[in-house]
Amino acid sequence: MEIDFTKTIIEINKADKIGLVTHLLGDGDAFGSLLGLRNILEKLDKKVVIFSNETLGKQIDFLSDNANYDPIDEYIPINLLITLDTANLSRLTCPNVFSKALKSGTKTLIIDHHAEGDIYDLADIVLSNTEISSTSEIVFWLSQEMGMRLDRETAEYLLIGIETDTNFLKNPNSVNKTTFTAKAELLKYGARAKKIIEKLNETNSINNLKFTGSIVKRAQLSKKYGILSTYITSADQKEYNIDPGSSSAICNFLDQARNAKVVLVAEQRDNIIKVSMRSNNSNVNVAQLASFFGGGGHVKAAGFDFIGNLNDIIESIKV
Ligand SMILES: [Mn+2]
């Protein structure tokens, strides 16, 4: 595995009060790596502060009795700030905390598996590898590099992250052999894989399938560019009682279409349009495409925010 943990371990060993921050609308990898790393650092007798203004995600709530999640959203002095699972300042739950850490000369460390983004140039240390399945997997390998044994709870947080970002180890673009090894080791530490998979699949209700069906039904394939696109309006979310953030799930579903080069889903959220893209069946780099619009992500999965009208996006993708 092409990843050098030396600088990260030195900084963690030096710091006794460490802040953690992850990305907006936390998914399984965001919360999994956040709480997994929190437990690991506490085991090393570090004082840990979680910076966030979000409640704990649904993916984690079956562990929430012992999650002990009590975040704050204003900066307080720490020796080291670690950002998890994002490459962009604007994607952090608390960008102000990162800025204040920089201003006050606090060391900053990025742990991430996305394509390089704006915070990479700002931070002191970057621990990143786009070949690794998830931030949770990087955190796992870090713990092993430090010679730690994990308890079941910590192993489960990290496994939630890995299962989320790999679509249950099925996505060939994010899974590699280290992912299987990491999962096997987490099972040895007692992680209940079956329970985690059941929990993460809980949203597969008939209602959700109907919602997916209605969005997929209006998908259009542009013959010229091979872009398969669709959109989700606020009315759709209301009709099916669906939380915001479903565009990536719809993207993953559409990505099964073998004849599309790029899959694109635009989702309306008040005045912002969230655009998610996939390119699993082609050589198109959607992270690069997204960066033209100020977004980012992975080569095969990326997104950007568009301020304006959903119709403008729909029109511009009808190519
Ligand atoms: Mn991730």
| Least confident segment among 82-86, 106-110, 181-185, 217-221 | 217-221
Cβ neighbours of residue 263 under 8 Å, at least 6 residues apart? 227, 228, 229, 251, 254, 255, 257, 277, 278, 279
The correct answer on CATH 3.10.310.30 for the domain covering 206-317 is yes
What is d(CA 83, CA 92) in angstroms, rounded to the nearest whole number? Answer: 8
Q: For domain 6-200, give the CATH number.
A: 3.90.1640.10
Give the Å distance between the CA of 119 and the centre of ligand 1.
16
Give the Å distance between the CA of 101 and the centre of ligand 1.
23
Can you give the residue ranges of every domain in the chain? 6-200, 206-317
Note the pLDDT tens digit of each residue in 132-171.
Answer: 999 999 999 999 999 999 999 999 999 999 999 998 998 8
Give the Å distance between the CA of 85 and the centre of ligand 1.
5
Give the Å distance between the CA of 26 and the centre of ligand 1.
10
Q: Name residue 205's amino acid.
A: S
Give the Å distance between the CA of 115 and the centre of ligand 1.
11
What is d(CA 130, CA 228) in angstroms, rounded to the nearest whole number? Answer: 25
Buried/exposed 53-68: b ≥16 CB within 10 Å, e otherwise: ebebbebbebbeeebe
DSSP for 55-83, written as a single string: PPPGGGGGGGGGT----B-S----SEEEE
CB 41 within 8 A of CB 13: no
Q: Residue 173 CA to chain centroid, in angstroms?
A: 15
Note the pLDDT tens digit of each residue in 274-318.
Answer: 999 998 778 889 999 898 888 888 888 899 988 877 777 767 665
